[in-house]
Amino acid sequence: MTAVDDRITGIFENLEVPDGFKAELLRGEIVMMAGPDRIHNWIVEAIQDQIPRARWHRGTTQDIAIPSAVSEPQPDLAVYERGVVEGPGRLIPASKMTLVVEVVSKTSVDRDYRTKRHLYAEGAIPAYLIVDPIKGVCVLLTEPRLDAPGGTPDYVAERVGKFGDLLRVAALDLTLDTSEFQTYS
């Protein structure tokens, strides 16, 4: 990291975020957003309930370290195996993640489908699930590659399903039931 990157990271770590907002560091830019819609929270809760707690941590406010990109995204749901990190701390290395989930909002479409897709691939996170209540679809991205065609880190496998479909998430060895997922009005 450069001196500028270090300063931005320092500012981000000491940022006082107002109640009802969350902040992320994405490619050296501090992005702040308002709290989510109830539909968003219900989707995250429905996914979290299906992931066995005995094997997986399922964090809803977990910052992930992607140092090469000067980024500390906070996905809507971060899933990693119990025991891969121990003790206190704000950041978990992307290399320890198994699945990250983003629920698209009206203001996060580009970030979730593009910026975070490339960030999570750069962090080599095995699976990235985009849940889109605007379109009523889930997009499961797997097989991250740093040398993907086009020169930008990306996922090479993509599976799309409609809300209500069963979605196999091999990285967690489970099939996700999306029948509770709702679209925004």
10-residue stretch averages of pLDDT, the chain, 185 residues long? 63 74 72 80 97 96 84 94 91 96 94 95 97 98 89 94 98 98 94
Is the domain defined by 37-177 classed in CATH 3.90.1570.10? Answer: yes
Residue type, 149: P
Show the CA angle centred on residue 159, arms to residues 128 and 37, nearest 5°.
55
Q: What is the pTM of this model?
A: 0.86
Show the CA angle centred on residue 91, arms to residues 76 and 160, nearest 5°.
30
Residues present in the chain in total: 185
pLDDT for the residue 2: 60
3-state secondary structure of 82: coil
Interatomic CA distance for residues 128 and 131, integer angstroms = 10
